[in-house]
Every structure is written in C-alpha cells, then in structure tokens.
Structure 1
Amino acid sequence: MTERRRSSLKPSSLSVALVAALAMGASSLALAQDTPQPADEATQADATTLDRVMVTGSLIPQTQIETATPVMVISAEDIQMRGFQSVADVLQQSSFSTGGVQGGQTSASFTQGAEAASMFGLDPGYTKYLINGRPMANYPALYNGADVFNNISGIPVALIERIEVLPGGQSSLYGSDAIAGVVNVILKKSVDQAELSVRGGFFSEGGGDSVRLTFANSFGSDDGRFNSLLGIQLDTRDPVWGYQRDLSDSYNAEGYNFSPASRDFVVLDAFTGGYYFMDPNNCENAAGNFGGTTELWTRPGLGSYCGSYISPGYRTIRNGKDAGQIYSYSTFDVSDTTQLYAEVMGLYEDVEYATGSNYTWWGTGTSFGAFYDPRLPDTLVNLQRAFGPEDIGGGGYRDIMNTDTNKAYTVTLGARGGLGNWDYDAYVSRAEYRLTENNWVRFRGPIDNYFLENVLGPQQGVDPFFGVYPVFTPDYAAFYSPISPEDFSSFTGFVDNKSRTWDNLAHVQFTNTALFTLPGGDAGFAVVGEVGNEGWDYTPDSRMVADPDTLLSDIWGQTSVSGNGRRSRYALTTELRMPLFDPLTVTASARYDSFDIAGETIDKPTWSVGIEYRPVESLLLRGKIGTAFRAPSLADTFQGVSGFYSFATDYYRCSGEGYTPEDTEGCTYDSVQYFGQQAGNEELEPIEADVWNAGVVWAPTHNFSISMDYYSWQIENEVSAISGDQLLLGEYYCRTGAAGTPITSCANIAEWVNRGPSGDLISLFTPKVNIAKQSLELVTAELNYMLDIGRFGSLAFAGNYTNKIRHRLQTDPESPAVDLLRDPYSMWIYDSYAKTRLDASMAWATGDWTTTLYANRIGSTPNYLAYAGGSYDYEHPSGQRAGKWGSYTTYNASLNYRATDDLTLSLMVNNLLNKMPDDQAANFPGTSSTPWNNYYYDILGRSIYLEAKLKFGGK
C-alpha cells in the first residue's frame, strides 16, 4: 500500500546520530555483509530519510527516535551475535533484570515448566508483555502459586525483528499491569528471500543438547496487493540433570558444617527430631539403592540412618523441551488508502522436568501425623523413606518426569488506512492458552495401604500421650528393604491438571500527525478505544483437591490450586504530542480503564505528561511523570481455597529449646513441613503507583551516543499473601512477648496458625489482602559507539547499566519497611536482588567476518550466612562469615562467516570461561543440596552452538 503521507520534517542531528548508533552498534553482522561504504555516509544517508515511525511508548508516529520515554531496543542481530537462545535468555540477561525468578532450577515450584523475567526486581506480573503491540495471553498456572504472569518460553526467537523494552509505569497508554514497564516483541512482517536455518548445541559439562530448525518465507500476488509471511520454528532440547554438575550432584561437600547423606531410610523422633536406627541388617538390604551408594550414616547429635550422598543429583536443573511455533502475517491492499491484515500465531510445547528425590518419598507424618511404637515407649515416631531409581525400575527418574503441555494461539484480523487527515487501525483478536500438567504422583490410599500391609501392620489402638495417634509395631527389616518396580507402579502414576486463559479484544485507533500547527511543528493526536473480556480456569485433577476437613487430597503429599473467573473491560486512551517550540515538545496521555469483576465495577484513570527539551541538536533533556495501576487479577479474585506443602522454621517451638529467630541452626524445628492454604478475595482493590523519570541523551557525533535516566516508583495498595515464615515469626512474638512486630494482629495469627495436640505445626492460612507497598529508585545508562578502522573494518561498542538506589517494601501497615537492597534476609526471601547489573558488547566486522564479545555482570549479592544470620556482621561458629558474594561476570562470544551471498555460518560460545558460582558453596551448610543462589545464578556452564543459515529464492 502506498503511504498516504510522508513527513516533511527533517530529523534532528540527534536522531541521525541515534539511528547511526543503532545501525552500527546493533547490526554488526549486516555491516560485514553489505557492500563497503563509509560508515558515516551510509548511516547518515539512512537516517536523513527517516520518516515518521511508530516507537513503543507512543501512539503517534514521529521522526524522533528518542523521546520523553526511554526505550531499549534489542535487535535480531543483537540476539544472534550475543548468543541468546530464547526470549528468556534475552530478558533475563538484560541490565534491567536485577531480580531473581523461579524457573527450571527451582525444583517443585508451581511453574517449574515456565520461564519468567523480572524488571528491576518487581513482580513478573508487573510487566506488560506485547507481541506486535498486542497483549500476550496470561499463563494459566500461577507464579509461586499466587500470581498471574506471562510465560515467555513459547515466543519464536528466530522470527523476531526486535524487542523494545520500555521501563517505567506505562498504564496511561497500555492499561493494567504496566507498572514496571512494557516489553514489546516485534516479529518479522516479511523477508526478502526464503530463509532456512539449523542450529545445534550442547553444554561442555554435559546434558542440554539442543537442535533448532527455522524456516521463513514471504510470498504474494503478482500485482503486489497481497503479501504474506509464513514462519515456523521447531526446537528440541534435552534436560540437564543435577548429577551432571559438581554443585548439584550431591550434598554440599564444601559447606561450613557436616555434610551428611540424605535421610533415605530413617525413623524420626516426633518430639525431639532425633533418629532411631531400627535396621537389623545395618543397611545391607538397601545398599543397592541410588546406584549402590546407600549405606549407614550418622548425624552428630541426632543418630543413624540409611542414606545416599548422591541422591540430590536425581533432579533436573534445566527443563527438557520439544516445541513448535508457527507464525503468519498477511496483508491485502483493498485500495491505496485501505489495507486488511491478518496475524496468526500458534504454539505447541512439551516441557519435561524432574523434581528429584527430595520430593519422591513416603512418610507416616503426612497421613498419620505420627505413630506410637510400644518398643519405643517414651515418644512418638515417624518413618521416612525415599525412592531410588532402582525402586522405580526401567529408566529410573526419567520414567517419572513431569510434562507440561502448552497449547496456545492468537488470531488477529484488522484493517488500517486513512480517512481524510486521519489514519485508523482497527482489529479484533482472540488469544487462548491451554496448559495440561501431567504430574507424577503417589496415590494416597494405595501407598499408605502398601506400607500398612508390608511395614506398619494393623493398627493396635491409639497413643498413650494424647489418645489421637495410631499404634503400630512395624516390621523394620521390611522398611529398610528395596521395593520392586511392580509394587512401586501399583501406588504411583500420573494425573492431569488442566487450565486455560483466554482474552478477546476489539481495538480501534485514530491518529492525526498534523492536528494543528505550533511554533515547533505539527501537533499529533491519537485516540484509542478498546473493549474485551478475559477468563481464567484452573481445574486440577479431582484427586488433587484437598478435603476441607482433613486438609488431605487423594494424592499423597500434594494438593493443587483451583479457581475460575472472568471479567469484561473497556478503556479509552488519548495522547497529544505538542512541539510548543523548536527545542521543546510536551506529550500528554490519559487513559480510563473499567473492569466488571464478580459483578462489581473497578475503574481507574491514569495519566502522564512528558517533556523533551533540545537546547542544541545533539542534546536531549527529558522527563515524564504519571500514574500506573494493576487491576485485581483473575487469580487474586477468584482463586478457590487451595493448598500447598512447604517448609518453614517453627520459631515458637525453637524458642522452647533456647533458640532465637536470629540463630535457629541446630534447632529440631528449624525446617518443618506444613500445609498452607490460600484463597482469592473478591474485595481486592487496584494496585496504584506514582511514577516519574528524568534523563539526558547526548550524541555529539553520528557514531556516538550516551544516555542516562533516573526512575522512581511509589507503589501502594499491593496485594500480598502473608508468607509462612512471616506468620510463624509473628506467632513467636505474640506467644513469647519477645521484642518484635508481628505481621498482623495476634488474634489473626492465632486463627491462621493451626497446631496439633502435641504442638506440632499442621497448617497455615496465608490470605491475600491489599496491605503492602514499596518504593523503588534507580538509574540506567546506555552507550553506543562506532569506530571505523578503515581497511580493518569497524568496531561497535554497546553497553547498558542499571544501579538501584533504593528499594523498600512494607508488607503491611503495622510492620516497618524492609530494605531490599541492604537487608540480606529480605533480599533472599523476596527472590533475591542485585543492586547493579551491566551488559556490554564489542563487535568487530571486517569483510565477510563478524565477531562479538558480550559480557554480562551481576553486582554483588548477599551470601547465604548473611541471610541466615539476618546481618552482614554474623559469624558462624565454623569461622565462615556473613557478607556478600562479589560481582559475577560471564562472557559470550560469537563468530559469523558469510561463506556465500546466501549462506552464513555461525559459531557461538556462551559462558565462554565456564563460569560457575563455585565460591558460594563454602557459605552454605553441608546439608544443602543447592549450595548456590538458584534464583539468580545458574550452574549450566559453557554451551557451544553451531548454526547454518541459507537464503534462497526470491520474494
């Protein structure tokens, strides 16, 4: 379609320089392949023909690349040259990713099969994700069992044209969820030639072998009125197992205290936590488990048991995956002023993972609480028995992996064109995401019956202490013996939890880039109307739902989230861009959102005002102030009573042994299991934020630009589920009278903490309420520089930096705010934070060769003892001290060779120096099976990829 209007405005020198920096800093591969041309002349020629373009962060096409809203652009060339293998790689390694997230390394998390990113350490759900400017469908399962978010695993990275990252609150343009910022993934609309690429890779430490096949081609009608792109990406990836890495193949041999084997066969004193060794065969019958590594062990001060030192290795630390994505974008020119378009995206993805032996066991505590053995007359006891690969049979743990099957599609039909002086864009879209979690489980009735028949024997009454717990006289020789794979399969199997989200949206936008004339040029105006509805439905297997009276489900040791709901919405957005004078432009936007949730109307207006001041052509001073919000999510509103199992420190019972919350190491109740319950709240209110940013962009030459921006958030009315740790710490304060502030009232704590007759912790209720708030301040910087070195080619330098100045969280009105940058305990329990993050690249292009070195630096973070001791001054009796781990830098390198005009060969080595967080292990206890901060660092090591990309045919 012929463009209706082209701008008559000449771009400023600043725009020219920034286009040049973008072209040279981000597209080194293209530089190496193009016909030689002086860099300044080539890029300036392109820049001076800059027409009005759409920039994420504005609804109005414009000639300025940099505006009042800073935008970080990650091009397809960046993704290729820096070795990124997925959108998750791109975003998790970006400088704005200063917070840790759950993922494949966090065994048994609620969304272990999904991938998320956090912008500046704010919740993943605080970032608005767009694909081609349209919202992504939410992932059906809940992050940490509590919050909706976007799974970025299924975006076809090889079909991306660029990713635009827009930091700061952006609700006045994009509505709910855009508190932290916006990520707009822009996919290709056409290719000049058909493209076929094959990429394969592996890890030097083992595991994770992968192959990716991508095909894209454009085709159209002879008259040029119809054009279409079809793209397909296929991926397959093996998992990485814990036993394939030194840090995760066993318990922590480098820890500051005794490193024991796992308690695979143990009789536990329910009163003291000590062990009774009751095996008449001294572990000989169990010796074949875990590859013949099970033997007799003794933990000082506790007792003896049978266990394996290497059992923690039987888990995955990176998911396996088989995936396919299809993408099509088509246009049809009805006339010179009207174009129809259609966009289709589809995803099918199977993700496999194993949670490991720590979550593959049976014990009497879950079903019976404890039991009485007349041969041990002074106490109650519990049995605990882990299952080894020999018990499972066949492929061992590979046969009981969980599989998440993801099916998603988005269909968009629209029209764009012109009506007089106005441009319009109208579309309708439908997005749906279906998730089936095929989880390996132990069936409660069959597994308990098996051990009743083969180990415990018939019940012989109730205990003499409380008259509640059953009496058994177990056959301990049978307890310490292997289980046949046939017996194992009789009480285990798989269940399917099914969930989905869907989103229907109708959108219409009118834009006038020359509404009226001001001294600085034409004023632009845009107005957008939207109406839609969305839904969420999480339906666990009926056997996973807990009985409200017993808190137990038909699945041993597990329950599941449940809930469903829908909401309708409409919104009206306006934006006005006014060049008041040649150097001064003011942009104002406002939006009104209204939601109908559970029969109640929740509405929220938001606004922003931005200023761009250019005292000279090479300098931009900018600032923006406004508001942002997040509507109550469907999960927060409609989540039913759901349960989970977790571990926490029972501070009150530890106090009975003389321990304080600052030091519970050695306490019998330092890590006790409990059943947690959560539920939605239909009376929740929107989360609100006041946001502003100010910065400067300087481009003294066409080859150099630098920018620096300051951001501030004040977020109020946050939804918070009180954590089990906070609840139990509050109980300690309430029941002992010790100095400290409970998380909520002592009356609430007494109601929400449920204990058994002997004082043992049974369950905790952690409700969702609007009680939290947080403040965040940070500085970002970006640099791009191009150096022409004559016949030796060109060098391109790029860097991005984030420094968090302040991040404070107040979990409820009665508690003091915690410092998420300086309080080590808070930094850990809220998924970990780094104060600074830097990414930088240097690319050299000469002839047909291009090479890039990319560095990613994580600033210092608190070590484990700083968290455990609650202070950087804490010193463990072993001599290990609290403090910080130093900065952590990894390097990626790539080499690209254009063998022919149509064939490019690439070699990419990620984590070039095979950097691992090995030095963290000494600061963890020997009992740890994860002696590194797995929310922030990974132990995958060096990966090597080879790719061949072939172009053929013509458009």
Structure 2
Amino acid sequence: MSPNNTRRLQRSRLSAALLSVLITPVAGLAFAQDAAAPADQADAKNLDTVTVTGSLIPVTEVETFTPVTVVSAEDIQMRGFQSVADVLQQSTFSTGGVQGGQTSASFTQGAEASNMFGLDPGYTKYLINGRPMANYPALYNGSDVFNNISGIPVALVDRIEILPGGQSSLYGSDAIAGVVNVILKKNLDQAELSIRGGWFSEGGGDSVRFTFADSISSADGRLNTLFGIQYDERDPIWGHQRDLTDSYNNDGYSAAHPSRDFVVIDALDSSYYFTDPANCSNVTGNFGGTTQRWNRPGYGEYCGSFESPGYRTLRNGKSSTQLYSYTTFDLNDSVQLYAELMGNYEDVEYATGSNYTWWGTSSNYGAYYDPDLGALVNLQRSFAPEDIGGLGYQDIMNTDRNKSYTVTFGANGYLGDWDYNVFASRNEYKLNERGWQRWADPIEQYFSENVLGPELGLDPIYNAYPVFRPDYAAFYQPISPADFAAFTGYTTSEARTWDNLLRAQFTNGALFSLPGGDAGFAVVAEVGNEGWEYNPDQRLLDGGVWGTTSVNGDGHRSRYAVTSELRMPLLEQLTVTASARYDAFDLDGNTTDSPTYSLGVEYRPTDTLLLRGKYGTAFRAPTLADTNQGVSGYYSRNTDYYRCSLEGFDPADTEGCTWDSAQYQGSQAGNPDLEPIDADVWSAGFVWAPTQNFSLTADYFNWKIENEVDQISADQLLLTEYFCRTGASGSPITSCDNALDWIQRDANGGLVSIFTPKVNVAKQDLEVVTVGANYLLDIGRFGSLAFAANYTNNLEHTVTPTPGDEAIDLLRDPYYMWIYDAYAKTRTDVSVSWAKDAWTTTVYANRIGETPNYLAYAGGGYDYVHESGASAGKWDAYTTYNLSLNYRATDDLQLSMMVNNVLNEMPDDQASNYPGTSSTPYNNYLYDVFGRAMYLEAKYTF
C-alpha cells in the first residue's frame, strides 16, 4: 500500500469548508445534505494527505500558496466538454487565439493546442499523471515546440489540475505560463462501458465515441490493474456546410468578388487581361456549376466562382484510439511497484481548399512576356473539384498520422521517516504527414505543352523574363481527372520526438518540528535525454514539389536536474515554502543551464481566510528545434507596404493596392547560440470560505519575461521596411539595417524573399487577475444547487521586440493584438447545476470579452474609418451556453444528453467588418462557426 495512505491527519476548518464547495455537480446533493453538520464535526474529519500540483510535499490543506484550478471528470461531463483540448481551450486562462484544426494550411493543422493568458503554447508545461508529455514532432507556426493535447483519453480522466504562474523551480523548463497536470484514473469500483454519439444542427462533424474500462485485483488484493480503451471517430466540417464560409463575404464593407480561378494578371500593375475566346463558357461547370465571367472594377475581367471557399475543411476529420493501463503490486507493507502504459493512434484528415490548390506562372518564371499583349503577365488558375474527379476535394485530403506511447516503471514506499518514489519512463511520438502535392516538373511540363507553348526568347523590357504566346483557349479549359492525377500525388514526411527520464524523489513530512507543526522536505534528482528529428519527403527539399518547401532538422541532448522543497509552518497561522532547482542541458558538448527558485507564503489569520503569495523565477531552455532546425522555406503572401506607398496607399488601408497580396519565398532557421528565456513571476491573493458552502478566491499574477526567442513576423518586417525606406513614423520591429538585409527585392523592386530569424531579443511584461467562486445551496426536498464561476482579466501585456524598442501594448494596440494572438482581455465562465434524486442538470456559459475588430487591426487603431463608412472598433462580448441532462435510470445505467452552444451562436456579426474578398470573415483563431452540437450518451457499469 502507498505509505501516504497510512498517515491520517486533520484538516483545518478552511480546508473542510473548501472541500464541501469544491465538489462536482453529480455529488452536489449528497454534500448539500451533509452541509448542515456542526462545524466541530467538520473539523474532526480525518482525511488523507494529498499531493497537489504545485508542491512535492503531501499536505492536508486543499488550498496552499499556489492557486490550483481543478476540473473534475464530472465537470467535464456536465459542462459538455468533448476532449481535454475542449477543457483547456475554454478555460478562462485561455485568453489568446491558437492555430489548429480550424486554421487552414497552418503548420500543425493536424494538432490541437492551447495557451495561457495569450502566451505561446510552448510556455505551458503539460503533464500526464505528473510526468511530462512528449513534444509534438512538427513545429507550431513552423518554428516552436509545443504539446498536442488531442490524444488524451478524456473518458478516462479523473481530473485536470491547472496551475497558473511560473513553476520552473519544481517542474523545470517550459513552466513559465503555468502547468497543466492531466490525472488519469487509477482504479474503478466497477467496469464501465459507454457510447456517445453526436452531430451538429448545421451539418457535418458527426461523431461517435466508445469507452471501456475495468479494474481487476488478485485474490489477496496485492495486485491491482486498471485497463481502459477509448475510440473516437468524427467527420470533418466543410466550409460549404456553414453560411459564413460557403462563399466570399457578401456582407463585407466592400463589394464581394469571387475567386480568380482563371485570370491573366499584368505583372506590373495587377490589372487583368481577359483572353478567353469562349467567355468562360468552357469552365462554367467548375465548382458545382458556379463559375462565371466577372468584372472587378479597377482590375478587369476573369473567370471565377463565389463558392470556391466552401471546398475546405473548417474542422478536421479524425479517428483515434487510446489505450491506458495502470498497475500496482504491493511487494510488502513498505514497498509498492507500479507500471503505467498509455498509447495513442490517431488519423487526422483535412483539406486546405482551392486557395492552396492552384497553378500559375509566377512561381516558376516570376512573369512572362506576351508579345501580342505587349506586356509582362502571369497566368493563374485554381483546380476545381471537377478537375480532381471522383469526390473532388474529399479525394485529395491530407492525413496526419500520430502514434505515441508512454511507458513507466516505478516503485514507491518508505524507509523510516522518508517516503520515496523512483521511476523510469520513456515516451515517444511519431508523426507521419501524408500531404497532397503538385509535382514541379510534371505540372510545368503539362502547362508548357498544353498552354504556354515553346519559349521564344527574353522579354524586350528587362531582358530577363521568358517570352510565350500561350494558347489562351486551352488555358480556359477544365482539366481531365487523368491529367490532374498525372502531375499530382502525395509526399510522406516523418518526424519523431522521444524523451527518457529517470527520477527519484525522497520526502519527509516531519523533518523537524516548528511552532506551527512539522516541517516537510522533499528532494528530487532527475537524469534523462531527449531527441527530435524531422525528415520531410526529399522532394520537398530538392524542389520536386511545386510551390511548397519544408524544413528538416534533428538533434538530441542529455539533461539532468536537482530539485528541493522545504515547507515550514513557522506559526500555526503562518507557513513558508521554499523551493530551488538546477537544470542543465548538454548538446554536443555545450552546456546550457539555469537555476530557479521560489518562495511561497500562506497566512491564515482566521479559520476561514487564507492570504497567500509567491515569488519565483522561471525559464525555458532553447528547444532542439530552436537550435537544430534547418533552413525552413515556405511560400506566402503579405502586403508590400513600401510598394503600396509608391502607389499612394497608406499602410492602414491598402485595399486596391497592386501589391496588397504580394507573393514571396520566406525562410527561417535554428540558432545554436540561443540562450534560455528567463522570467520573474510573482503572485498574491486570498481564499475566503466563510461557510462550508461558499468559497471565493482571487489572485494577481505578474510576469517579467526576458531574453525571449522571437521569430519576427513577415508582416511586421515589411512594415518596418516601409518606415525605413520612407522615413514615416511608426513602431519598427527591428533595426533598419536588419530589415533591409532580411528583405530581398529584384531589379524591379519586386518582393523576392524574406528571412525571419530566431534571436534572443524580445521581452514581455504581463499582469493578470483571476477570480473564482463556488457556492452550494441545499434546497431541501428540491435537491441542491451548485454554482461555480471563474474570471480572468489581463490587466497589462506588453512586448518589446528588440532592445531599445518602445514596448508594444498588446491589449490596447489592435494591430499588434492580432499579430501576437493576444486577442481577449477578459474571459469568464459560469456553471449552475441542479441535482435531485436521479437527475442532474447543468447550464454552462463561456464568455469571451470584447476583442478588436478587423478594421481596428487593418487600420492600425480604433479611430480608423473606412471610406465605405465601416469603422474600427471592438466586437461585442461573445457568449455560448451548454446544457446537459443526466439521468441515473438504474444503479448501473446512466443516460446523458448534452447540447453545446444551445443558442447556435455564430460570429456572423463580424462579417460586416471584413472586406468582400475575405473567405473567412471572422477571427478563426479565437471563434468558430461549428454552431450547435448535440450528444447522447449511455454509460453502463457492471
């Protein structure tokens, strides 16, 4: 048996009160009926010591100097969360937007991420049963290491503990924003079998989930094993299944224009030449018969469709299987052996849509000269589902296959007055990316033979571009599925991360006596190694793929750490806890190390009030991707602010500028000389529980993060170049020397390439307030009501990109608020549960505070007014409601119905603040258009 279970201590009145209100809705009735027990009886309850995330030393207090938010399995069920990602992305701590399955063509579209307080996803430490998760092998936004939180079996979760604030003195690197510890079940009283099915009222996204779990024990009770399996499958949601995304924005502040599916573009002024002798009649069957001839004022005519945006996925399709087992064996009265295994196999499917499924001459030639037109021009055409054949875009979906496992063997027990826990673990994550591609040589050969014809020399203007007399009638033609298949196919890229860890912890809960009680002490030693490798398909590296490149990289390093924590009850009302840690990483003989420490204080002036505070340091070591990433190439488009200024456009309004969407080749690479990111973090707050039925917590957090590894965004770099070349006032992101060196242009001033390196330059300052309240009301024969609320307010958040720069206000400067994903200043959730007899009902509300609208971002401020009359400003707060109903039909059968987003809330009011050329007229990093979802579940125990 675990040695901690033999030590029974009394909880204080504050702890007993908190225990009564920090309960799950399902258990609410039982606790409510017990709430009337005399206070002295509550004080007298003997309860086990527990180890709470944020401390190594077991304590009897529910709340300590470290604020911990606990989301129980019952909370997950009653609030309608469908995954661990749902829980964390809807947490009030998650105030920033993230890329993922809802973001077309992101670097990690097959993964799901979360953040805390708008800080990068990689700033949060994720643990499963107290052990670090494996890093996702692909890089978030193409550059950063993070954790994919989609492969955790939510039906087997016991609780999720969320600990905000810097925690590196206990958990090491990455724990700057906070720590999330997902604790899975260790035993079950009965076997459980459940099935859940779901669908969306707007269509798409149908899902089903099966779960089975059971515990078995030997006859003598010494051997105990829990085994669980979860299987999930869900259909994708397509753009054409939602009104807001099935076509270009018809509600925008500018006229809606269909996609340029067949267009001849003047390479110098971006106007269009219409050269189709058939007036688009040969391609009117494309995109479901919606392609027509259109005229865009100021540009010219072309063939296109309003409905091409609908041919992309808004939410990934997915099938996954997770296995989990936890086994203990009591070797004797003082030693317990344990083993843990968790595996995940997941296929994620998605389509990026016609915006990323096209061919044009600009990629290979830059431009060509047509002597009949007497101009430098470019051809551009997208591929319609009719070109693809079969099921269209459903037949060319990308698939990310994730396979991961974690295995742990350990022993815990006690030696005299010391408890110990020693384990060895290994986790490994493999990613296989099967991506649809266009083959460079075959696609160019096809269009050369069928459209461009032979090269006729060099242009007479610059003597640099090829001359062609294209067969334009052949250009404005559908492509047969056989021809399409001949120049397209799939690449397979593989990536892997692994982590080995040997850890030993020794704890003494009564090292010596103090006036307030026994002092506790813990010491931990860790040693391990980790690796990362990313091996793209060779064709992505050697130019064999048209319009797409990739990045390779690999590295491994050893690491070790020593941690200690001392908890000292100096007085009955006053406890001080100190911890310190030393981490070192060895990469090819170069050692990067960082010491961290923290000091926490708990003061209980009365039995019902806790005052608490903490100061500490935190760090993030350079990741293997930071140091060992190869040159990463990509193609993208951004506003060329400098060339737009030559046409008389201001950066705040570049609509109609020839270079409003200039294509370029971007690159980035790792830097082996990077140093750790450092942070000072402190917090102060209180917990007040005047009765056993009510508690209120409030905490203030302050971060000062320095030496950040930052990759400058291309948009910011282009804006800086504009400031440097024109002398206009503004906030440059780096020096003019860097901007002019990192942006390359051709002889005509055209944008060629942009290099956005990683450097230790940035710093951030962040201030946050969090509030939580719980209340339990016994309403007699009508059952009980349980209320819970959480609130986060980002008071200040500034970034200083490079030394000497002015700090950027991420909460008040709407342009940078979008750039850095720090979208929501406030976030709130509230739940109300009613339990009576066999019924439990919960209403859960989640509110995202006001965020800047698109014109505030594009116009660079809240006072901007577009010529159409549309104004910069803020979008109203956005609230969704979930409703759940649980009925225990028998002792063994529970039936549940959940309706998420009951009112079918959509961000459709944002569309009027986007231009008509937008295919995603809402902020898809923070909001979604999934709409109302309904789920039915049956759980049977036996």
Tell whether the structures are fold-level matches, with TM greater than 0.5.
yes
Contact 1:916 1:939 in 2 (8 A): yes
Residue 606 of structure 2: SS of its match in structure 1? Answer: coil
TM-superposed deviation, 1:741: 4.9
CA distance in structure 2 between the partners assigned to 1:582 and 1:334 by the alignment: 38
Aligned-residue sequence identity (percent) comes to: 70
- Are positions 1:717 and 2:707 aligned together? yes
Match of 1:852 in 2: 842
TM-superposed deviation, 1:6: 4.3
CA distance in structure 2 between the partners assigned to 1:404 and 1:640 by the alignment: 22
Contact 2:265 2:272 in 1 (8 A): yes
CA distance in structure 1 between the partners assigned to 2:16 and 2:601 by the alignment: 20
Match of 2:16 in 1: 16
Residue 96 of structure 1: SS of its match in structure 2? Answer: coil
Match of 1:536 in 2: 532
CA distance in structure 2 between the partners assigned to 1:201 and 1:742 by the alignment: 49
Contact 1:99 1:936 in 2 (8 A): yes
Match of 1:614 in 2: 604
TM-superposed deviation, 1:671: 1.3
Partner of residue 798 from structure 1, selected from 776, 788, 795: 788
- Are positions 1:771 and 2:773 aligned together? no
Amino acid at match of 2:171: Y
Match of 1:840 in 2: 830
CA distance in structure 2 between the partners assigned to 1:260 and 1:874 by the alignment: 24
TM-superposed deviation, 1:367: 0.9
Match of 2:669 in 1: 679
Contact 2:578 2:597 in 1 (8 A): yes
Partner of residue 641 from structure 1, selected from 610, 624, 631: 631
CA distance in structure 2 between the partners assigned to 1:626 and 1:248 by the alignment: 46
Match of 2:34 in 1: 38
Contact 1:907 1:946 in 2 (8 A): yes
Contact 2:9 2:46 in 1 (8 A): no
CA distance in structure 2 between the partners assigned to 1:659 and 1:30 by the alignment: 63
Residue 283 of structure 2: SS of its match in structure 1? Answer: coil
CA distance in structure 2 between the partners assigned to 1:100 and 1:742 by the alignment: 24
TM-superposed deviation, 1:597: 2.0
- Are positions 1:198 and 2:188 aligned together? no
Contact 1:743 1:814 in 2 (8 A): no
TM-superposed deviation, 1:465: 1.5
- Are positions 1:743 and 2:741 aligned together? no
CA distance in structure 2 between the partners assigned to 1:925 and 1:48 by the alignment: 64
Residue 528 of structure 2: SS of its match in structure 1? Answer: strand
Greater Cα shift, 652-661 or 74-83: 652-661
Partner of residue 388 from structure 1, selected from 384, 398, 420: 384
Amino acid at match of 1:655: S
Match of 1:371 in 2: 368
Match of 2:517 in 1: 521
Partner of residue 340 from structure 2, selected from 334, 339, 343: 343
Equivalences for residues 324-473 of structure 1 within 5 A: 324-377=321-374, 379-473=375-469
Residue 154 of structure 1: SS of its match in structure 2? Answer: coil
Structure 2 CA distance for partners of 1:737 and 1:6, relative to 1, 3 Å = same
Deviation per residue, 1:765-821 (Å, 9 max, x gap): 111000000000010000000000000000000011001100001111142111110
Contact 1:15 1:47 in 2 (8 A): no
Deviation per residue, 1:134-179 (Å, 9 max, x gap): 0000000000001000000000000000000000000000000000
Amino acid at match of 1:440: W
Deviation per residue, 1:821-868 (Å, 9 max, x gap): 010000111124211000110000001000000000000000000001
Deviation per residue, 1:473-512 (Å, 9 max, x gap): 0000110000000000000000111000000000000000
Match of 1:312 in 2: 309
Partner of residue 288 from structure 1, selected from 285, 289, 313: 285
Contact 2:237 2:313 in 1 (8 A): yes
Residue 533 of structure 2: SS of its match in structure 1? Answer: strand
Amino acid at match of 1:439: G
Match of 2:696 in 1: 706
Partner of residue 799 from structure 2, selected from 782, 796, 809: 809
Contact 1:16 1:47 in 2 (8 A): no
Residue 285 of structure 1: SS of its match in structure 2? Answer: helix
Structure 2 CA distance for partners of 1:80 and 1:70, relative to 1, 3 Å = same
- Are positions 1:226 and 2:207 aligned together? no
CA distance in structure 2 between the partners assigned to 1:884 and 1:924 by the alignment: 13
Contact 1:20 1:47 in 2 (8 A): no
- Are positions 1:111 and 2:108 aligned together? yes
TM-superposed deviation, 1:47: 8.6
Residue 877 of structure 1: SS of its match in structure 2? Answer: coil
CA distance in structure 2 between the partners assigned to 1:645 and 1:48 by the alignment: 65
TM-superposed deviation, 1:736: 2.0
Contact 1:132 1:186 in 2 (8 A): yes
- Are positions 1:122 and 2:112 aligned together? no
Match of 2:583 in 1: 593
TM-score of the superposed pair, with normalisation by structure 1: 0.97
Residue 725 of structure 2: SS of its match in structure 1? Answer: helix
Contact 1:322 1:350 in 2 (8 A): yes
Residue 593 of structure 1: SS of its match in structure 2? Answer: strand
CA distance in structure 1 between the partners assigned to 2:42 and 2:452 by the alignment: 83
Match of 2:141 in 1: 144
Equivalences for residues 853-872 of structure 1 within 5 A: 853-872=843-862
TM-superposed deviation, 1:5: 6.6
CA distance in structure 2 between the partners assigned to 1:899 and 1:522 by the alignment: 48
Amino acid at match of 2:703: W
Greater Cα shift, 556-565 or 622-631: 556-565
Structure 2 CA distance for partners of 1:325 and 1:61, relative to 1, 3 Å = same
Contact 2:97 2:926 in 1 (8 A): yes
Contact 1:4 1:418 in 2 (8 A): no
Residue 75 of structure 2: SS of its match in structure 1? Answer: helix
CA distance in structure 2 between the partners assigned to 1:749 and 1:825 by the alignment: 19
Residue 855 of structure 2: SS of its match in structure 1? Answer: helix
CA distance in structure 1 between the partners assigned to 2:348 and 2:736 by the alignment: 44
Contact 1:466 1:757 in 2 (8 A): no
Amino acid at match of 2:914: F
TM-superposed deviation, 1:31: 4.1
Match of 1:550 in 2: none
Equivalences for residues 5-84 of structure 1 within 5 A: 6-7=6-7, 9-23=9-23, 27-31=24-28, 37-41=33-37, 48-84=45-81
Deviation per residue, 1:588-619 (Å, 9 max, x gap): 00000011123211110000000000000000
- Are positions 1:212 and 2:209 aligned together? yes
CA distance in structure 1 between the partners assigned to 2:354 and 2:463 by the alignment: 34
Match of 2:500 in 1: 504
CA distance in structure 1 between the partners assigned to 2:729 and 2:646 by the alignment: 16
Amino acid at match of 2:563: T
TM-superposed deviation, 1:42: 11
Structure 2 CA distance for partners of 1:4 and 1:261, relative to 1, 3 Å = closer
TM-superposed deviation, 1:746: 2.6
TM-superposed deviation, 1:244: 0.2
Match of 2:898 in 1: 908
Amino acid at match of 2:126: Y
Deviation per residue, 1:23-64 (Å, 9 max, x gap): 2xxx222346x6994344499769922221111000000000
- Are positions 1:657 and 2:654 aligned together? no
Amino acid at match of 1:271: L
Amino acid at match of 2:788: A
Partner of residue 480 from structure 2, selected from 480, 484, 495: 484
Partner of residue 128 from structure 2, selected from 117, 131, 135: 131
TM-superposed deviation, 1:8: 5.5
Partner of residue 561 from structure 2, selected from 571, 574, 586: 571
Deviation per residue, 1:297-343 (Å, 9 max, x gap): 11110000000000000000000000000000000000000000000
Contact 2:608 2:689 in 1 (8 A): yes
In structure 2, list runs of 5 or more residues that go unmatched.
Answer: none
Deviation per residue, 1:250-292 (Å, 9 max, x gap): 0000000110110000000100011100000000001000000
